[in-house]
Amino acid sequence: MDKVVLDEKKKILLELINSKDYHPLKFKEIAVILQVSRDEKQDLREVLEVLLGEGKIELDTRGRYQLADANTRTGVFSGTQRGFGFVIVEGEEEDIFIPENATRGALHNDKVMVSVKTDRTGKRKEGEIIRILERSSSTIVGVFEKNRNSGFVIADNLKFGKDIFIPKEYTKGAVTGHKVVVKITDYGGQDRNPEGKITEILGHMNDPGVDIISVIMTYNLPLEFSREVMEQVETIRDEISERDLTGRKDIRNLQTVTIDGEDAKDLDDAITISKEGGIYHLGVHIADVTNYVTENSPLDKEALKRGTSVYLIDRVIPMLPHKLSNGICSLNAGTDRLALSCFMDIDEKGNVTGHEIAETVLRVDRRMTYTSVKKILENQDEEEKKEYEELVPMFELMSELADILREKRRKRGSIDFDFPESKILLDETGHPVEIKPYDRNKATKIIEDFMLIANETIAEDFFWQEIPFVYRSHENPDSEKIKQLGIFINNFGYSIKINQDEIHPKELQRLLLKIDNTPEEALISRLTLRSMKRAKYTSTSDGHFGLATRYYCHFTSPIRRYPDLQIHRIIKENLRGGLNEGRMKHYNKILPDVAKQASIAERRADDAEREVYKLKKVEYMGDHIGEIFEGVISGITNWGLYVELPNTVEGMVRVSQMQDDYYVYDEEHYTMIGEHTRKTYKLGEKVLVEVLAADKLLRAIDIAFVDEEPKKDQ
């Protein structure tokens, strides 16, 4: 049901449950009172679920609905290794701290009901879990350890918090060190561990490739496509037909290029550009994936479920099968391909003075790489310029326009995080042999700038047409986190201006410009990023704080992101005049769920990608035990200090390894002070460290300051 109808039905239900004559009722009894027909019962169930999810009502022990206590919330439990956890409540800025003795046996990602304490004077809300509403998963991946008559599994996800007991008859012959998949048969409780049975042995934890397969299984990432999906794929031609060209704008005569990384196989965006009379004519052409992925087909349902492609260093788990992503939907040079194009007229100040959206057919002239274009534009490489002689004027024009667009974004306050990301190189066995910064050069920035302007132009167009759409939204940061950032950067002599608990993105942009090329740049950049909220997909245009724009969407990658695919379908339907009242109603109904599912899938992919990077960084540092590195103190806690090395690896110096009997953590000034030596460590300080240990199981790298005596037995 669409949002207006949902809100109206929520209001009716809340009025009933709030009324003084109401007493707790079961679902059937509420349906009778409200005279709900058989056809409407599913809608009633949906509205009750929403109100339960929002924590406005609750179920009693007999399954009856009643008004929730004012101090009761519903959220998702996030566990920790040390037993305590936090409940994340959607729409609330602050998580609720749950002490170890108040978890009621909740496990990581369980949906729970929590009672919030009102008399606590600490900095963070504290609560007690009063009911587990929904278990997150019945399947866990971990490492098996054998006892004499049984065994237990330590979950790969350290937030799971409890080992899983495995009775002897359910060990499936596993030995200590095996990576296994466990089906939980008993979730245990506050003082009792969960129990389970092993359903699959993935291999020994040290076998090549087992670590990444374990991450794939942990995050339930789908490896195979179903028979129905592959049968649909088999019906798709390898090349476009004459029938496909009907009604399309033919731009095969325009000079067209793709610019991607050397190893990219799914080429979904191409560029055309020219200039006349002070106006740049920029064309951003995106593979027309919806021509093949039709609504509600097996391919479409699978793509929505996956939400996004997942990139795990040595492999890609694609949203769409390779025949599409690397074949008919890839804008390969020299072949005719279908596209959805955004043609923009842009003046010399970077203003889009006019635009056209059209279904097109194109033919890419050359498949360019970022490396080649960088050589042409940055290095003025004569050999490269000769190789692509006919395209050099085009690249120079691209560079010219990209500079204008970037300057316009800078003036309005768009934030550009330019700290080094890492690229991990593996050998043929999957072992990491090198970690190096990802090269973000002029060529990568050009494509970034052109994709941004196309995304903005499309989003603004459909906002003003008042057509149902999927937007990319980024809320303003939490004022408390920004205040903490302000306190932190004061230690380095910087400041930011906060007006009435709000900050303009320009302030953060100015901060990043001030720290450019300073020793503390990477640290402050990362902490600034962490102080902001996570971008998400929404069915309303809520603005994008980081880009300092009111209108933004994802239009440019339908091969690997479902929201782009979804809006392509809407755009094409609009171009063809098919968006009648019924179709508008249909999209209003489905898009909130599409946006929510896409945001969930994106977070799952991000978490899995981060986990693989963490694993490979730990494995890489395992080859460097005893070596000395220069690093920067990147985090301080009361149990130790984090140090980031130039290759972006982060290790921990534990308090127990530091030369003093006692250290005091001063949170306000982000320092660690030794009570006897008076030795002070502060964030951003450069230090020399020795690598002591690298534990893949705990994803931890232990280091020690080289001017201290490391404890060899730790």
Averaging pLDDT over each range in 188-192, 273-277, 694-698, which range is the top one? 273-277
The DSSP element (H or E) to which 424 belongs, if any, is strand 422-426
DSSP secondary structure code for residue 173 in this structure: T
Q: Over 70: is that where the pLDDT of 714 sits?
A: no
Pairing of strands 72-79, 85-88: antiparallel
Superfamily for domain range 625-705: Nucleic acid-binding proteins (2.40.50.140)
Which amino acid type is present at position 267? Answer: L
Give the distance between the most distant pair of CA atoms in the chain.
85
The DSSP element (H or E) to which 166 belongs, if any, is strand 164-167
Res. 712 pLDDT band, cuts 50 70 90:
very low
| Order of strands, sheet of 663-666, starting from the edge strand that comes earlier in the sequence | 663-666, 671-674, 680-682
Give the whole-angstrom CA distance, residue 448 versus residue 442: 10
User: What is the SS3 string spanning 528-543?
Assistant: HHHCCCCCEEECCCCC
Q: Over 50: is that where the pLDDT of 711 sits?
A: no
For position 468, what pLDDT does the model report?
97
What is the per-residue pLDDT across 40-62, written as a single tens digit (0 to 9) for each?
Answer: 888 888 888 888 877 778 777 78
Give the whole-angstrom CA distance, residue 137 versus residue 220: 10
For the chain, what percent of residues have pLDDT higher than 90?
53
Give the whole-angstrom CA distance, residue 328 versus residue 656: 59
Q: Quick check: do 3-67 and 72-134 share a fold? A: no
| Order of strands, sheet of 269-276, starting from the edge strand that comes earlier in the sequence | 249-250, 352-363, 336-346, 279-287, 269-276, 257-260, 366-369
Superfamily for domain range 72-134: Nucleic acid-binding proteins (2.40.50.140)
What is the per-residue pLDDT across 299-354, written as a single tens digit (0 to 9) for each?
Answer: 999 999 999 999 998 889 999 999 998 889 999 999 999 999 999 999 999 999 99
For position 362, what pLDDT does the model report?
97
Q: Over 50: is that where the pLDDT of 281 sits?
A: yes
User: What is the SS3 string spanning 535-592?
Assistant: CEEECCCCCECCCCECCCCCCCCCCCEHHHHHHHHHHHHHHCCCCCHHHHHHHHHHHH
Res. 146 pLDDT band, cuts 50 70 90:
very high
C-alpha 573, offset from chain centre: 29
Residue 558 is encoded by which pair of tokens? 């339908």
What is the per-residue pLDDT across 663-700, written as a single tens digit (0 to 9) for each?
Answer: 676 665 567 777 777 778 887 788 899 999 999 888 89
The residue among 1, 595, 25 whose CA lies nearest residue 13 is 25
How large is the average pLDDT for residues 463-481? 92
Q: Over 90: is that where the pLDDT of 552 sits?
A: yes
Res. 661 pLDDT band, cuts 50 70 90:
low
Torsion of CA 119, 124, 130, 136, to 10 degrees: 170
The residue among 653, 485, 452, 472 whose CA lies nearest residue 556 is 452
Q: Over 70: is that where the pLDDT of 637 sits?
A: yes
How large is the average pLDDT for residues 483-512? 84
Give the range among 67-81, 255-269, 578-592 with minimum mean pLDDT: 67-81
Q: Hey, where are the domains in the chain?
A: 3-67, 72-134, 139-207, 227-475+537-611, 479-532, 625-705
Give the whole-angstrom CA distance, residue 103 versus residue 17: 29
What is the per-residue pLDDT across 102-137, written as a single tens digit (0 to 9) for each?
Answer: 888 888 888 888 888 865 555 678 888 888 888 887
Residue 274 is encoded by which pair of tokens? 């020219």
In words, the CATH class of domain 3-67 is mainly alpha
For position 71, what pLDDT does the model report?
79
Q: Who has greater pLDDT, 142 or 709?
A: 142
The reported pTM is 0.85
DSSP secondary structure code for residue 421 in this structure: P
How large is the average pLDDT for residues 578-599? 94
Give the range among 264-278, 611-625, 642-656 with minimum mean pLDDT: 642-656
For position 621, what pLDDT does the model report?
95
- Would you say domain 139-207 falls under CATH 2.40.50.700? yes
Average pLDDT of the residues of the chain: 88
Give the whole-angstrom CA distance, residue 628 versus residue 614: 20
Tell me the C-alpha to C-alpha distance, in Å, between residue 405 and each of 266, 273, 446, 453: 26, 14, 9, 8
For position 56, what pLDDT does the model report?
79
